[in-house]
Structure 1
Amino acid sequence: MSPAERPIYFSVDFDASSGQRAVIDSYIDDVASAIGRARTGAYGGYGVIARLLDAGKVAWAWQTYDWPDGNRDSRAELRQVRNGITVDGADCDRNEAHAADFGRWGRGPAGIASIYGIKPSGHHTYASVDVVTGVRRGAVSSVRKAPLVPDQRAR
């Protein structure tokens, strides 16, 4: 399938309250009007993902690890399963596919995945990983610090 036929996941990356439903629905409806409901995916917590899937607002779901209390929607193709993993000194998250088709662009694992981040020191970091073997092919850190430093508060 071409990228024009594959989903795009749009983020609702905060602990949304019931009072924010109308704004979230409007956001997702605007996305769907531009790319089509069949390509519209959402990334967010259990409550947001379950409600958007129940309402038929999204065709794809990627559930975050953070909210609430470990509840999981079995319909989510992707799930974030762990936060705070350090890759070459940068804070990253682990995600898992829970469906054969989770929206990948292409025919299967092949090629190189790029991982970007910012170390606590403020330096940019980049690593490449062969997606078939999992072997890291390189890791590079910037010489200069980034203009923005990541938030160091506990999550």
Structure 2
Amino acid sequence: MSKGIDCATPLTVKTVKAIAAAGYGFAARYLVPPGYSKRLKLAEAEAITAAGMQIVSVYETTANRPNGGASAGAEDGVKAFQEAKSIGQPIGSAIYFAVDYEALSKDYDKIEAYLRAVAVVLRGYAVGVYGSYAVIEEMAKRGVAKHFWQTYAWSYGKKSVKANIYQHLNGQIVGGVTVDFNQSFGNEGWWNTKKTPKPEPNNEVKTMNEVDANMIIKKHLQPEYAAAKKNGDSKSAKEAHRLANELRKASGQPLK
């Protein structure tokens, strides 16, 4: 069991030393594309490691992004993979995808489709999900993630036994940085720049069966492609076609 922090502020050598000295053993930071101020970079990852702390990777651009379903998941999975590789995150460690709002039962199918599409393109990284008690319980039941990070927000006092990390207090100051407090319980999927986690069995290459791939293509990507073509949006049509082919590739089908 270890206590840790998460924050949107990039940590410096000075601030991460102060946080480690205060007794925190891990820091959750954001894998997001260039242009986001909260983006984790290699120098910061090295500073966290040098201070003796572990790193938890989380992908979040907007709070309700997973409600975008499979097409959003395929796009975010590619970006998360690229960011993880760029900072040397070892294969086999986890990337958590944030469901950072009060998701309701009507949202669960889209969140599931999002995470399944993420898994197809994440290529060796383990899929984690961050969210409320209900999200953690439901996504665990549906088998679409291997690591679970629960927030107390929207959880109404309930705590999932499936949680590997539990976020229990927000908006605190440590080392001059605004952070949230977390507790971990094992199997966190964290990493550092010195040690390489061993991939879990069947985790080195993410695959998807043909039925699931075609379901995502038919239900989400084909309608997006048709709408884009109708509206003369060639860029969106091209992207939907590319993502569909990524799913076909991952499920062993011929490309179109």
Amino acid at match of 1:71: K
1:11-67, Cα deviation, whole Å (9 max, x unpaired): 001000111112111111111111259711000000001000111111100001212
Q: Report the equivalent of 1:86.
A: 173
Q: TM-score when scaled to structure 1?
A: 0.62
Residue among 68, 80, 98 paired with 1:11? 98
**Alignment partner of 1:57 is 2:132:** no
Superposition pairs of residues 6-155 of structure 1, within 5 angstroms: 6-35=93-122, 39-99=126-186, 101-106=187-192, 107=195
CA offsets, 1:59-111, max 9 Å, x none?
10000121221111111110101112123554320011111x31111459xxx
Q: What are structure 2's unaligned runs of at least 5 residues?
A: 1-88, 197-256
Structure number with higher helix proportion: 2
* Secondary structure in structure 2 of the residue aligned to 1:29: helix
Overall identity of the aligned pairs, in %: 33
Write the letter of the residue equivalent to 2:189. G
Higher relative contact order (CA 8 A, sep 6+): 2
Three-state SS of the structure 2 residue aligned to 1:21 is helix
CA spacing shift, 1:37–1:13, aligned 2, 3 Å: farther
8 Å Cα contact 2:92-2:124 kept in structure 1: no
Q: Tell me the distance in 1 between the aligned counterparts of 2:181 and 2:175.
A: 14
Paired residues, number = 106
TM-score (norm 2): 0.38
